[in-house]
Structure formats: C-alpha cells, structure tokens
Amino acid sequence: MVERPQDLQAWLDRAERALNAGRWTEARELLLPAAQWLPRVPQVQHHLGATHLALGQAQLALESAQRALALAPAQWQSLLLQGRACKSLGKMEAADASFDAVLTLQPGQGEALVAKADLAMNIFGLPLQAIHLVQPLLNQPQHAVDAELTTLMASLYDRDMSATALTQRVIGFSQQHMRLPQLQLPPFKPRHSAKARPRVGIISPLFCNSPVYFLTISGWQHVARGSDIVVFNRGYKSDWASAAFRALSTEWLDVQALSAEALARSIQAQDLDVLYDLGGWMDPVALKAMSAKPARAMYKWVGGQSMTTGLDSFDGWIGDPWQSPLHLQHLYSEPLVNIPEGYATYTPPGYLPTLTPWARRSRTPVVFSNPAKLSRAFMTYLRQMVGPICFVHQQFQYARTRAKVEAALDGSKARAEFVCPTSHRQALEIFGGFQTMVDTFPYSSGLTAREAQAMGLWVKVFTGELFCERHSLHLR
C-alpha cells in the first residue's frame, strides 16, 4: 500500500486535476490509495469509479459507485455512475432503474435523460421515446448538443421529415458542433522514401464480432499485404474477430479514453497516408477528431455508415451504385466513391450453419432486426399481412420491446412470435429455419441482409434515399 502523504489534500488536488483533464490512468493511480486512506468519503469512491469506467473497468466502477451510495444514498451523481456501469455490463433494466432514481432526486437532470434516451433507442427499440425524453433539453445549453444528436440518430429509424431535410439538419449539426476550431495540426512532412510501404489507419469502436469484421476483414487482409496497418481501437470488446484485426495490424493503439483533440494528435503522430473511419455516428468523439483531418487522406466506410457525417474533411465516402447512386450526392458532404461490384464483401464466420432444406423451413415470415428499426410505417405494413410473424433479436427479451410490437399489431399477442438468441451462432441457426425475411424500412438491414442471402432466405426488400435505407437493394 502507498504510504499516506503528509499533505493529503495536495494529493487529492492532483487526482482532481488529472480527473478533470481526462488523464484517467493517472487519476486512478492517485485515487486507489486515497480510497483506502479515506474509506468513509463517498466523493473519493465516486471519483475512483469514474476513472474505472473511463478505462473500461465496468465491474470495478459499479463496485465503487455502490460503495459511494452506501455512504451517501442521495448522491445522484453516483446513481448516474451506477447506471452507466450497469449498461456497460449489459444490465440494462438495472441501468434504466438507476437513471430513474437520478430523476427522482433531480427531476429533469440532463445526463440521466440523455442516458435513458440512449437505452430507449439502442436497447429497448423505442426511438420515438428517445426523442420525447430529450425534447426538454434542446433549449438547455449544457445538454442541447447531446439532445440534438440523439434526436437526429433516432430520426434515422422513425421520422416524419424527408431524407433531404434530415441530411440538412445533420450537416448543420456537424458544422456547428463536430469541429475543433481551436486545434491547428502542423502540416505533414514529406515521406522519407517513395519506396516506403503505405501507412493505412483504421479507426472504430467495433473491432470485434460485428459488421465491421464481417464486411471489411477480407479487404484489410488484402491491403495488409502491401501496407502497414495502424489500428486505432476505440472499443473495449475483445474476441476472435479482434484477434483477426490484431493479426493483420502493424501497430495496435488503444485510444478509447482520449478526447477528440488528443485523438486527433494521436492519429497525426502516426504519419498516415490514409485513414478509414469505421465508426461513423457510433463514435462522435472520433468524428470530431477527424474534422481536423489528422491523416493525409480520409475515407468513410463501414461502421456507423447510416448517413453522411456532415464533415467536409473526408476525401470520399465508399459506397456503390445501389447504396449511394451518384444522383443522391446531394445527401452527402463527402464525395461519393462507388465500387461497381459492391461497397463491401461479406466474410461468413466459421460457424455459419449448414443450409436447411427449403421444404423443412417455416413459412412464417421472419423479421430479424434491431427493434429500433420497427418504424410506425413498417408496423403498419406488417399489420396488413395475414397470420403470425416471427421477430428474432436478443432485445426482444425486454417486456417493453415486445409490447411495442404487440400494440402495433392491433394489440394481438397471437400474431407476434418472439425468439431471443443468446449468441450470433444461435441467431444464424434460427434464421436458417425460415423461408422469407421481411426487411425493415426506412432503416434497412445491413449485415443481416447478407446473412439472409448466405442462409438462402428470400428477402422482401424496400428502399429509401439515405445510405441506411438501401442496404438490401443488392439482393433484388
């Protein structure tokens, strides 16, 4: 144990300065012994938990938050921390309950409302509820940016405005809030040798079992033969797919806790010839960093590629004639770079199931989709169909998510069948037992559409104008 210093307040002041500056590792190393010296001070326990969470140590963060709450049950900041830790641990109902407890103590508290809206949209499949939750925050300077971003992302799933109107709002948002006007990066120096291997950077929070792996890994394996791959890892998940990215990388940098400015400097320090963003709107901090153009050239590709970033720092948006036809260039701030054969290549997992004979498959139509994509218009279409419909997704484990579907189907529980796979392998096995998938609209299936094709399903396809509304057109 670190010896207790004579000037304990000076030690705590150092920890607070590190905490406020986002130097999470330094703050944690100062707060760990402080929490042992001052076990009855809830604020020390809370701050320690905040550093744990920032460093991806969700269980330790939860334990610290609980210790703080045991000492000060009305400390709403620790309830907020508890909720965020529960979310990181996959305890979604507990997270939502913690945010509700914050709002009981502090009605209208902005961070809790934004956090609840995130759960409503991304976990419980209720984007319209997310919009409603943040509506009171749109005129509050402290939370207006988060509220507007939540509203824009929820509007991708269910909205009344046109694609053009939504695009204009996103571009306006990016111009106002997604830039680093005070950051002036130094100009790039000429490369030392024309014969040097190109340095290619890729950045994402999803270097794991995700669409980023299945739709891009074959491309990166090809690029790695002639280039040095520098990975900027923005996520905390690590699995067999992460190992595949590590295997092809020349350098792997964990940059999860960096601010946008620090991230921009970190990217430029790698002296990249080109950087590919594979996070998009899943990672607004990284987008903000890329507004400073920290690489010689930058392109937006798979990963949070729902619609334009609204930034003018990208040299291109990688799409194809189905996803982003040139006549829709007005919906993008990035120049369209279309690959004739298709913007992505699907690499199936090693556990892709053997195809079930067609005659043995269920004729019940299946909707295999994130529940957030079940828009009002889509559910109206389903209501006109005859007979039961099977809904497959792990998020249907939540009663409120199932209730949304049942209510949209005239309140009939008999029409909706729910299946909640516990793994990607099990999801594919379930998927392969059906003949027909009905794709969602306006937000269509991306990876799932390609998996449907691989599993031999017939897909009912719809289309719109935004990139995320045209994912399954290649199946026609």
- Specify the range with the lowest mean pLDDT, choosing from 46-55, 109-118, 187-196, 433-442: 187-196
The per-residue pLDDT for range 233-272, each reduced to its tens digit, is 999 999 999 999 999 999 999 999 899 999 999 999 999 9
- The answer to whether residue 130 sits within a structural domain is no
Whether 325 and 435 share a structural domain = no
Q: Is residue 445 very low, low, confident or very high in pLDDT (cuts 50, 70, 90)?
A: very high
Helix (H) or strand (E) holding 203: strand 199-204
Q: What's the CATH number where 80 sits?
A: 1.25.40.10
Asked if residue 382 and residue 325 are part of one domain, the reply reads: no
Which helix (H) or strand (E) segment holds residue 337: the answer is strand 336-338
The pLDDT tens digits of the residues spanning 312-353 come to 999 999 999 999 999 999 999 999 999 999 999 999 999 999
Domain boundary among the residues 107, 132, 161 is at 107
User: What pLDDT shows up at residue 191?
Assistant: 73
**What are 112-125's pLDDT values in tens digits?**
999 999 999 999 99
Tell me what the mean pLDDT of segment 358-387 comes to. 95
Average pLDDT over residues 367-375: 96
Query: 333 and 254 in one domain?
Result: yes
* pLDDT band per the 50, 70, 90 thresholds, residue 472: confident
DSSP-assigned letter for residue 437: E
313 and 391 within one domain: no
Give the total number of structural domains in the chain: 3
Instruction: Tell me: do 6 and 54 sit in the same domain.
Output: yes
Residues 6+ apart with CB under 8 A from 19: 27, 31, 47, 50, 51
Structural domain contains residue 467: yes
Same domain, 329 and 209: yes
pLDDT at residue number 372: 97
Q: How confident is the model at residue 413 (pLDDT cuts 50, 70, 90)?
A: low
Q: Does 344 reside within a domain?
A: no
| Tokens at 285, concatenated | 């901090």
410 and 454 inside one domain: yes
Q: Is the pLDDT of residue 462 over 90?
A: yes
Q: In angstroms, how far is CA 297 from the centroid of its own chain?
A: 24
Co-location of 372 and 308 in the same domain: no
Residue for token digits 């990607």? 424
Residue 407 lies in a domain: yes
SS3 of the chain: helix, strand, coil, percent, to 5:
50, 10, 40
Q: Same structural domain for residues 412 and 365? A: yes
Based on the fold, state whether residues 323 and 209 are members of the same structural domain: yes
Beta bridge partners of 231: 202, 252
Q: Where are the beta strands (DSSP E) in 20-118?
A: none
Which domain does 263 fall in, by range?
199-338
**Which tens digit of pLDDT belongs to each residue from 266-295?**
999 999 999 999 999 999 999 999 999 999
Both 463 and 372 in one domain: the answer is yes
Q: What is the pLDDT of residues 95-112, one digit of tens each?
A: 999 999 999 999 999 999
